[in-house]
Structure 1
């Protein structure tokens, strides 16, 4: 039986190390596969496996700021890395992750795709860039195009918004690929201007966390990757409620809070997280940051 049953085996291996080594290990990116994320990942996998047809299924991944959208889709993209294709002009890349440009710009978006694939970017017309993108994406045998920060489309005029959405629709039709758009709730408003886009994209939501069984299970998952020798029992009622209030219901803030508290504990020789540790670690909630900024 493990000496540290409250920890994941890979985490338990770190507990005997010095504090500095554990802090370095703690700062590494990690994936917490909670049930809602696993459900969305399964649906994304279905898109990869879907046979090509005239009207491909698409998805909108909607969630508040810092609630895990980007981490989730990057984790999915990492599960489908590009592969060498000896003797062919292009590698094979079934999944491609890109960000929408800051404002809805068709040539800017094409340039972003080509840069992400280390391909040359035509300096002439938008038509030349479009043709190059279609040629390259067809060459890499793309199945799923992920567009993060797609709510940026709202930064343009109504005409620019419509043009950008038309471009997305065109790429999906021309290449017979699935497109995953990711963004905040504003993204639903952005696509509502085009009924065809709205009908083709199934929304999947990442809501804020509430005090329920799922949140307590999430806290238990986080505790398993904190290299502290004694159980903190983060899922117990009073501590869980405090953590939810401080993090304001987003998984990104939750991760920042618990990492910051664990680092504080390690530096001060504490063996578990407590309410006092959470108060003392220096974490500032999003609302408090907003209030502080208003006084600057």
Structure 2
């Protein structure tokens, strides 16, 4: 049994509460570890344990869009921070993860961090005041690392504003004696390069796309994803042909491969097939399920 053009109607069909629960659990975001990602997480763990010094080392996590950066960082935070406990005598937060503000502005950076800590105050508060409050709060929380996701957000600012923002980031690391981890697409390295003294402070860690030269590792990754699909029957995805099609249609990106597998799993659950075979993974079938390859999406919109 393979998907048809009627799939859009099929997904509206009534399914049991148990099947709905399976679909909900399958679609829940979860991090799937594999050697390169685990290696990066371990290096971040070592950085977290680094003794405080005047010049703390920093990291830049570099990967294409939808290739697992944010999920890796969230998993790292989950394992590094204690679980929420309203009865705890004191709240500690070893790792603080914040979305990089949409422009290269020192004040907006401090405000974003304070807002994440539920202590934002007034947006008009002077930068020095924000920094003082920020230092006190982070010291109280015993925060040891700051993570800034989507660092490419500041790319729309002028080079001079970006340079000033990077200097603020460097000064923040120095004053708090705290390592900073940023994440972004490869263009992030161009942002850092405006000031070599700052670029040298951020060691790049690359999370590459899947490719033919990592085919065996990719196969193990696919098997790991399969275990999260909530299907009642084993899939036939370990065959070379099926793996190559997943690699091609997902264009080597982790998020895209996972999305394809979950889309096919949803069809398998709703259709009663309860399994995914390699023959199902075709361009026409994926198109019938509403899938558009990443490189085709802008053209598809047009």
TM-score w.r.t. the length of structure 1 is: 0.88
> Of 287, 290, 294, which residue of structure 1 is paired with 2:298?
290
Cα displacement (A) at 1:18: 4.3
Paired residue for 2:5? none
Residues 1:41 and 2:44 aligned together: no
> Of 235, 238, 242, which residue of structure 1 is paired with 2:238?
235
Paired residue for 1:81? 81
Cα displacement (A) at 1:121: 2.2
Relative to structure 2, which stretch is displaced further, 183-192 or 193-202?
193-202
Alpha-carbon distance in 1 for matches of 2:18, 2:277: 21
> Of 265, 269, 278, which residue of structure 1 is paired with 2:268?
265
SS at match of 1:64: coil
Confirm or deny: 8 A CA contact 1:151 1:184 kept in the other structure: yes
Paired residue for 2:22? 22
TM-score w.r.t. the length of structure 2 is: 0.86
Cα displacement (A) at 1:38: 0.6
Alpha-carbon distance in 2 for matches of 1:75, 1:251: 15
Paired residue for 2:50? 50
SS at match of 2:66: coil
Residues 1:281 and 2:281 aligned together: no
Alpha-carbon distance in 1 for matches of 2:208, 2:88: 44
Confirm or deny: 8 A CA contact 1:103 1:156 kept in the other structure: yes
Confirm or deny: 8 A CA contact 1:264 1:277 kept in the other structure: no
SS at match of 1:72: helix
Confirm or deny: 8 A CA contact 1:220 1:233 kept in the other structure: no
Instruction: Structure 1 unaligned segments of length 5 or more: list them.
Output: 1-16
Whose RCO is larger (CA < 8 A, sep 6+)? Answer: 2
Alpha-carbon distance in 1 for matches of 2:280, 2:24: 19
Write the mapping of 1:1-296 to structure 2, written as runs, cut at 5 A: 18-81=18-81, 91-122=91-122, 123-211=124-212, 212-278=215-281, 279=285, 280-293=288-301, 295=302
Give every structure 1 segment of 4 or more consecutive aligned residues whose post-TM-superposition deviation is greater than 3 Å.
Answer: 82-88, 275-278
Confirm or deny: 8 A CA contact 2:237 2:278 kept in the other structure: no
Instruction: Structure 2 unaligned segments of length 5 or more: list them.
Output: 1-16
Alpha-carbon distance in 1 for matches of 2:41, 2:253: 19
Q: Quick one: structure 1 residues 52 and 18, their matched pair in 2 at CA, closer, same or farther if it must change by over 3 Å?
A: same
Confirm or deny: 8 A CA contact 1:145 1:180 kept in the other structure: yes
